[in-house]
Structure 1
Amino acid sequence: MATECVRRALLAERVPVAHVDGAVEYSWGWESVARVSEGTPGVIADKLGDLETRFDVGDGDVILQPNRKRTAEALLRVVTGDLFGEMKPPPYRAPHSVDVTQAGVFGMSADGTDLSFSLAELMGEIIARSGGGKSTIMRSLLDWTTAAHNATTVFLDPSGDGPGQFTDAVKLTTTGPIQIEFILLSLYRLAAGRARIRRKLGMGDAWKCTREHPAVIVFIDEFPKLTKRSKQIIAELMLVGRKEGVWLIFAAQGSTKELLGSNIAQHPALKIIGACRDVDTTGALGGGAADFGYLPHRLHPKSGKELNHCAQTYIVGAPGLSEDPMLHKWHYIPDDEGGRRAGERLAAGLVDVDQASVDAALKAPNPPGLKFADEEEEYLHYVPWPDLLAMVAEPDDYEDEPEDDDPADLPPILQAIRDAFVHEREPEYLTMDQLHGHLREDDPGQWAKWDDRDDRSRLRELGKALSRALRDAGVDLSSERITELGGQPRGYYFEAVQQALGEAE
């Protein structure tokens, strides 16, 4: 009966069905294989919402998983319970018990197997909206890297949240935008230096990560809030770090060029995509991703106490995982347990960068195309790894934050726009899309209510709401076309914001 129900539903939605295999019942619902007689199963992806109505299940509870090896075939899951209800708890990992080049277990896949893969020689990204589970995912990965005997963990977060309960287990962490620039520069030099000594150490074509010569794994949260210079260094680091044991994973709420400041979203090999917008699916995975069955934009982030699809993702480029577009759920590690594990690892001693790499970095080149302290009005200079630890311990010597005049009398909307420019290190302009990321984080109740719309509609509603708020506050500030960018998206120039600030004060 279930098999026939699936077949009739597909036919009713005008899907060219060739055959439907016998449906199998699980604790969470039903699973069946469908084959189309023409085209690809992408035609089913366009009908998932209508199929949910026909099956009388919730939004997002009909899941399509095309078979990459048989282009006419796809697995169809109809979820009536908890798809991940049988997920095992996160495994305990003693200090120095993990080899970071081996596969770790991070959760559960929709086919009931462990979510398991290796981070070795990977550059990665995590894309998910607020409530999509970015923090859960990053801390699941942190639990693995900080338990390793052959990895040093670095965590950079310009938003100010940091690694949370795993802070004690992270060798180097900071939230200062200028400190992050110094750290990234030092990490680039470290990777470039390793490239020069790798063969002398008998390692061959890639850095061999051992207790004596550990990998350096860098996590970066809220990538869009980095300074322009930090993003430039990261682009260079991603070119040289993979083979040299300096691996980077960054997180952001979206993958569009306007949000990230470049087309960097398609560069990393490892892509972890949770609840997001359709433009983010395309931005990270390219055009046609939905036709192949990658549908993270159909996932729903956490809302209040409702978890929805929080920490559920599609994953591309993870060694050993199925190439099919399967849904995965990540382990959640409670704060008290994470803090306990971090304390154990701190007591056992955190892994540090090897002296050979530190020495090699001293003679390594700086990344091309940047200005440094020996040039007029520049402050950035190379800081050796040991001194980075002192920098974080005494941040005042390296902070270069803009002076903050008392904003108490500013209209709240103007102050919010001003804060967005300050977080971005006062760029020449911010697009509406970039600004929306800051506004929704500060007040999601007011600014996140259009996230379910297409990109054009979302930005149109944002523009209207901003115009009303500025007009009601008596602020003379209007959005403009950003002529320096392709497509000339609307946004605000910093010069105009400064003028509005002066008039408001």
Structure 2
Amino acid sequence: MDAKPLFFALAGLMLLMVADSGAGKSGVMLAMAEVVTACRDAVAFNLDPVGTGVGDLGEAITLEACMDDEKIVATLQFLLDLCSARARQRARYGWGNKWRVSEQHPAIVVFVDEWAQLSALAKKLLIKLLLVGRKEAIWVIGGSQFGTKEWLGEAIGPKLSSKVLGSCRRVDVTELLGGGALTEGYRPDLLRAATHTEINDAGQIYAQGLPGVPDRPVRYKVREVTSAYAARLSAERAMAGLPDLMFTLTAAGLDEAWHELLDVLADEAPAGGRGRPTALPGIVGLLREAFTFEQDPAYLTYDQLHPYLRKDDADRWGRWDDKDDKGRLRELGKALRRELDAAQVELSSERIRELDGAPRGIYLSALDAAIEGLR
């Protein structure tokens, strides 16, 4: 490490990250997804055959296909169809050899975690997407615990322009960076993945092919995006509104295919009996959005939270408006307690000692800790 910050552009990136379990691979991908979801001209898709990928970003993710091979395959096939449609559009519009990204025609950044666990068909479609997607602004950020052909499906790793390696095998280093990489000083094989009790070298990486970053054997450390922080960003970005794909998909003639894909993804009976990743319980999401709207103060009293709850469901949360303030807040507190207990969320109201009269409310730190416990 040389203490210099790591900055690189995600635009146009086809990237593979290889790292062992506990090496911080999912966290590094989450950090990149956080950047994508902050853009007005790009959207994030989240694919993971065995987990939830970058799903901590919740509503900031435009599309999720996790823990279900049928849904992952359907998504990849749709993206390949979109590549073909965009290639025809480029020719028709006279846009040259590269899709012109804009708010009306956003880029799609596809995060694919646990690549090695994909089905054979999904691997085949993903590799095809890696070969044709860059020009059409459909870019892939892939993650795998292994970087060799037998795990990825083809010897695609060396062909990708950008590679990131955390703690991994020596054979992964030479496969992806070349036979001389070890002697040049690229030694991710010496990094140690985290355990339950020690962070070790989690989040530390070597990299080649990152735009604007010289190729040299330097270890970098990627900042952690916690689940609680990701949940706050999810609420913020959902409230601000995500980029709309309908204009570009309609222009491509794929609006009906898009709705058909959404129907497949909405199916609550996934193949193989595997469940889909669940979002935050409704009451927790409402409370987090209230804090987000108020610019994340250290606490909110029941009286401050009540308008946000009432706005979501006036019949449910406005039942006590005819009572005096003391009675209204007492009933609100009891209702909140029932909701949190029903959702099995470990979150309790507290006396806000910083205010006169110490009214009851919720501290942001307690809410974020409860969210962290749900992930």
Tell whether the structures are fold-level matches, with TM greater than 0.5.
yes
Q: Match for residue 262 of structure 1?
A: 154
Q: Match for residue 449 of structure 1?
A: none
Q: Match for residue 177 of structure 1?
A: 69
Shift of the 205–262 alpha-carbon distance from structure 1 to 2, 3 Å rule, reads closer
1:198 aligns with 2:90: yes
Choose from 272, 295, 303 the match for 1:401.
272
1:336 aligned counterpart, secondary structure: helix
Structure with bigger RCO (C-alpha 8 Å, 6+ apart): 2
Deviation at 1:230, TM superposition (A): 0.9
Q: Match for residue 387 of structure 1?
A: 260
Summarize the alignment of residues 318-329 of structure 1 with structure 2, pairs less than 5 Å apart. 318-329=210-221
Question: What is the CA–CA distance in structure 1 between the aligned matches of 2:7 and 2:49, rounded to whole Å?
Answer: 29
Q: Match for residue 290 of structure 2?
A: none
1:147 aligns with 2:20: no
Q: Match for residue 208 of structure 1?
A: 100
Deviation at 1:204, TM superposition (A): 2.4
Choose from 211, 228, 235 the match for 2:120.
228
Size of the aligned set, in residue pairs, is 273
Shift of the 303–243 alpha-carbon distance from structure 1 to 2, 3 Å rule, reads same
Q: Match for residue 165 of structure 2?
A: 273
2:171 aligned counterpart, secondary structure: helix
2:140 aligned counterpart, secondary structure: strand
Question: What is the CA–CA distance in structure 2 between the aligned matches of 1:117 and 1:158, rounded to whole Å?
Answer: 28
Q: Answer with 1 or 2: which has the greater Rg.
A: 1
Deviation at 1:325, TM superposition (A): 1.6
Deviation string 1:344-396 (CA, Å, 9 cap, x unpaired) is 11111122325344443559xxxxxxxxxxxxxxxxxxx81233223222243
Deviation at 1:270, TM superposition (A): 1.1
Q: Match for residue 115 of structure 1?
A: 6
| Structure 2 residues without counterparts, runs of 5 or longer | 275-375
Residue pair 1:125, 1:268 contacting (<8 A) in 2 also: yes
Q: CA RMSD in A?
A: 1.9
Question: What is the CA–CA distance in structure 2 between the aligned matches of 1:362 and 1:385, rounded to whole Å?
Answer: 6
Choose from 8, 27, 46 the match for 1:136.
27
Residue pair 2:166, 2:188 contacting (<8 A) in 1 also: yes
Q: Match for residue 89 of structure 1?
A: none
Question: What is the CA–CA distance in structure 2 between the aligned matches of 1:335 and 1:174, rounded to whole Å?
Answer: 19
Question: What is the CA–CA distance in structure 2 between the aligned matches of 1:320 and 1:239, rounded to whole Å?
Answer: 22
Deviation at 1:123, TM superposition (A): 0.7
Shift of the 233–113 alpha-carbon distance from structure 1 to 2, 3 Å rule, reads same
Residue pair 2:16, 2:163 contacting (<8 A) in 1 also: yes
| Structure 1 residues without counterparts, runs of 5 or longer | 1-109, 364-382, 404-505
Deviation at 1:226, TM superposition (A): 0.9
Shift of the 358–316 alpha-carbon distance from structure 1 to 2, 3 Å rule, reads farther
1:321 aligned counterpart, secondary structure: coil
Question: What is the CA–CA distance in structure 2 between the aligned matches of 1:207 and 1:357, rounded to whole Å?
Answer: 14
> Partner amino acid for 1:204?
G
- Structure that is richer in strand per residue: 1
Residue pair 1:358, 1:385 contacting (<8 A) in 2 also: no
Summarize the alignment of residues 367-446 of structure 1 with structure 2, pairs less than 5 Å apart. 384-396=257-269, 399-401=270-272
Shift of the 241–219 alpha-carbon distance from structure 1 to 2, 3 Å rule, reads same
Deviation at 1:268, TM superposition (A): 1.5
Question: What is the CA–CA distance in structure 2 between the aligned matches of 1:272 and 1:150, rounded to whole Å?
Answer: 25
Identity %: 36
> Partner amino acid for 1:268?
L
- Structure that is richer in helix per residue: 2
Q: Match for residue 308 of structure 1?
A: 200
Shift of the 174–362 alpha-carbon distance from structure 1 to 2, 3 Å rule, reads closer
Residue pair 1:189, 1:361 contacting (<8 A) in 2 also: no
Question: What is the CA–CA distance in structure 2 between the aligned matches of 1:361 and 1:272, rounded to whole Å?
Answer: 36
Question: What is the CA–CA distance in structure 2 between the aligned matches of 1:214 and 1:201, rounded to whole Å?
Answer: 16
Question: What is the CA–CA distance in structure 2 between the aligned matches of 1:214 and 1:233, rounded to whole Å?
Answer: 22
Q: Match for residue 156 of structure 1?
A: 47
Deviation at 1:308, TM superposition (A): 1.1
1:200 aligned counterpart, secondary structure: helix
Residue pair 1:152, 1:171 contacting (<8 A) in 2 also: yes
> Partner amino acid for 1:113?
K
Residue pair 2:20, 2:145 contacting (<8 A) in 1 also: yes
Task: Please report the TM-score for the alignment, with normalisation by the length of structure 2.
Answer: 0.69
1:384 aligned counterpart, secondary structure: helix
Question: What is the CA–CA distance in structure 2 between the aligned matches of 1:208 and 1:261, rounded to whole Å?
Answer: 31
1:291 aligns with 2:183: yes
Deviation at 1:257, TM superposition (A): 2.0
Shift of the 229–244 alpha-carbon distance from structure 1 to 2, 3 Å rule, reads same
Deviation at 1:400, TM superposition (A): 3.8
Residue pair 2:22, 2:194 contacting (<8 A) in 1 also: yes
1:168 aligns with 2:39: no
